Amino acid sequence: MNAVREKARLAYIDMVARISATACNGRTLRQALEFPGRGNPWWYTKFSFKDVESDPTFNVMLQVFTILNVAKRQNIKDIVLYGAPCEIREALSSRYRIRKSIKRYFIRLLALAKGAFSRMKLIFDTLSALFALKVFADLPKSRPDVLFQGFWDWSVCPGDDAESLNDIYFKSLPGQLKLKGFTHAWLLWLSPIHKPGAKKRSLKQILSRVKGHPQLIFLQKFLSLKDVLFAALDFRPLYRYLRFRRLSSFRDLFTEEGLDFFPFLNHLLICDFVSSTIPLFTLIESSSRRAFVEYGPKINFTFLEFYPHSRALYEGGRSARPEAIHCTIQHASYNREKTFLALDRERELYGKPDNRSVPVPDYMFAMGELGRDIFIEDGFSQERILLTGSPRHENIRISARQENRQDKEIYNVLLVATLNPRHDFEMVQAASAAAEGLKNIKLYIRSHPFARMEDLREYRPYRHKIISTKGTLDENLKMADLVIFTYSTVAEEALLQGAPIFQWLTAGYNASVFRDLEVEIPKFYSVLELRKGLENFASNPHQFHPTETTKSFIERQCFFKADGRSSERIAESLKKIEDERKY
């Protein structure tokens, strides 16, 4: 698989771009989907976002390219598939004789039904929020200089006293901007997330400390019943796509390496157009436009770089107030295979040939040198990328880890899961099998706060084998003698604290920064090799501790400076940008 990773990645980015930007019968798909006075719905689809965590396209291409590579080397003409997903069967059948190919129409019909149902849920959720906010929230009367993107109450929530707020992404940045003379507020979408294991709350409880707050601007307050119903029941983008896909020249765009990906990708695109994704971001765009008219901010900050949420906010904000500055702060570690940030320079960033470019910010504050380099590769000018670090990670420090005794009886091995537990489940299976019978290895699992590995049905057999952690991340890292991960940012944090780390590489995308960084860390593909790695660690853990040189390199590449001053640097840069604009 490693032999075809980069080839598959480039093919994926190219395919997404050419499907939308290649003229067929005189116009592109983006042109066909456009409506006057609103943002282009193409940019609100999951497919255009290239979300490797929820969109299977890249994984399918990666696996198919791997099969092609083996088949070419071995001169294979006939393929028998056992348990392969229908997407892989369909792609390979356009080039190879495939035996035991089974169609799965029912599953695809179920996916379309779920998409249609999500629109109905969007109506219910948005109207519930709209009516609750009418009762429990007021719009502030003051006009702030800076708006911060937020989601109540998971990215922003009440603080300790009446008016204080906790923002898990911007943290101390609002306070630093206040010192520079900027007033600020939060532009919020009411989107509560019920954390696993927590008691479910009513909207009244969620909004209990909102009324009269001078810094909370809820976007749903700018919507009407008509807006919600029109967006949710507007199937014109689906209709236009269904007409466009009839063109043979358009269907040819789905061919790669002699394989026809149209049956698979056509289904994904239809699901995109049927589901609530486009209506949701259309509502965010419309409400953002009205909020910018009402409050006229000078600066807008997002923490979801090119995510559809941010694209809708940029589109709405620019159409209402073109002079406003849009900034984004890189909120998590990225590599080139985590394709959220991947843009085709000419067709997506510059919008060629139809002048339909993706909505992007004016300035980007990068977490580290790796993030900055990825932004530059996408086509952004270096003047627009500021290397500052991220407020979200300003608590991180390089520290000297107290050496564990070599004669320690039990070593605590921490498995770190991401927001995508199904992707990480293979790591759980492998670690459990590898540690079987090793009496000096004890396994722990740290789940993501919003997606618990323990809630997966497949995880049930491992509940008595692996201990679920409690407490903070710092406490968990201090307890751990070794950290095993797939692509969590926790791995970089652990390394800076001197903890040894192992990476489990799944049979799919590799979204860890260690894919792109020249750092030697143990990486494992098989249970047998992982078991040997655990045995070697238990016999001599000191050999796996990161060096000071490695720590400094990871600090610079991933966090720029682990000094707790990211917010200060961003505030200074923003003040300079604002002063230069005045003249």
What pLDDT digit, counting tens, does each position of 506-526 carry?
A: 988 999 999 999 899 999 999
- Mean of the pLDDT values across residues 519-543? 95
Checking if the pLDDT of 458 tops 70, the result is: yes
Is the predicted pLDDT of residue 541 greater than 60, yes or no?
Answer: yes
Q: How far apart are CA 442 and CA 465, in angstroms?
A: 9
Going by pLDDT thresholds of 50, 70 and 90, the confidence category of residue 193 is confident
Average pLDDT of 6-29? 96
Q: Give the pLDDT of residue 532.
A: 97
Supply the pLDDT for residue 195.
66
Euclidean distance between CA atoms 230 and 234, whole angstroms: 6
What pLDDT, on a 0 to 100 scale, did the predictor assign at position 583? 59
**pLDDT > 90 in the chain, percent:** 85
SS3 72: helix
- Per the domain annotation, does 419 fall within a domain? yes
Which pLDDT score, from 0 to 100, does residue 94 have? 84
**Position 181 pLDDT exceeds 60:** yes
386-415 per-position pLDDT tens digit: 999 999 999 999 987 655 555 578 999 999
Cα separation, 507 vs 525, whole angstroms = 8
For the residues 85-109, what does the mean pLDDT come to?
Answer: 78
Averaged over 102-127, what is the pLDDT?
88
Phi, psi of 461 (to 5 degrees): -65, -15
Q: Measured between alpha carbons, how far is residue 260 from residues 17, 89, 289 in Å?
A: 17, 11, 41
Which pLDDT does position 579 carry in this prediction? 87
Angstrom distance (rounded) from CA 62 to CA 80: 19
Q: Assess if residue 372 is contained within a domain.
A: no
CATH number for the domain that contains residue 534: 3.40.50.12580
Q: Is residue 444 part of a domain?
A: yes
pLDDT tens for 293-348 read 999 999 999 999 999 999 999 999 999 999 999 999 999 999 999 998 899 999 99
Residue 403 has a pLDDT of 56
pLDDT at residue 455, as a whole number: 92
Are 300 and 324 a contacting pair, CB within 8 Å?
yes
Could you identify the residue written with the tokens 């995109």? 272
- Lowest mean per-residue pLDDT among 94-108, 203-217, 452-466, 468-482: 94-108
Among the listed residues 453, 504, 452, 498, the one whose alpha carbon sits nearest the alpha carbon of residue 478 = 498
The three-class DSSP label of residue 386 is strand
The span from the CA of 48 to the CA of 311, in Å, is: 11
Number of compact structural domains in the chain: 1
**Helix, strand, or coil (residue 293):** helix
Question: What pLDDT, on a 0 to 100 scale, did the predictor assign at position 86?
Answer: 83
Average pLDDT over residues 541-558: 95
Residue 271: both structure tokens together? 């699901």
The pLDDT mean for the chain works out to 93
Please give the pLDDT value at position 302.
Answer: 98
Residue 448 domain flag: yes
Among 107-111, 247-251, 428-432, the least confident range: 107-111
β-partners of residue 524 are 504
- Residue 192 inside a domain? The answer is no
| 511 falls within a domain | yes
Does the pLDDT at position 357 exceed 70?
yes
What is the span of the domain harbouring residue 481?
411-559
Q: Is residue 36 part of a domain?
A: no
For residue 67, give Cα distances in angstroms to 1, 52, 53, 71, 90.
9, 20, 22, 6, 13
User: CA 260 to CA 254: how far, in whole Å?
Assistant: 6
Is the pTM above the cut of 0.85?
yes
**Is the sign of the CA dihedral 481, 333, 518, 65 positive or negative?**
positive
Give yes or no for residue 198 having a pLDDT over 70. Answer: no
User: 106: which residues sit within 8 A by CB, 6+ positions away?
Assistant: none
- C-alpha–C-alpha distance, residues 224 and 246, integer Å: 36
User: Is residue 550 situated within a structural domain?
Assistant: yes
Alpha helix segments (H runs only) across 460-565: 473-479, 490-496, 527-539, 548-554
Give the pLDDT score at 298: 95
User: In the predicted model, what is the mean pLDDT of residues 223-249?
Assistant: 97
| 545 has a pLDDT exceeding 60 | yes
Burial state string for 391-419 with b = 16 or more CB within 10 A and e = fewer than 16 = bbbbebebeebeebeeeeeebbbbbbbbe
pLDDT band at 433 (very low <50, low <70, confident <90, very high): very high
pLDDT of residue 253: 97
Asked whether residue 255 carries a pLDDT value surpassing 60, the answer given is: yes
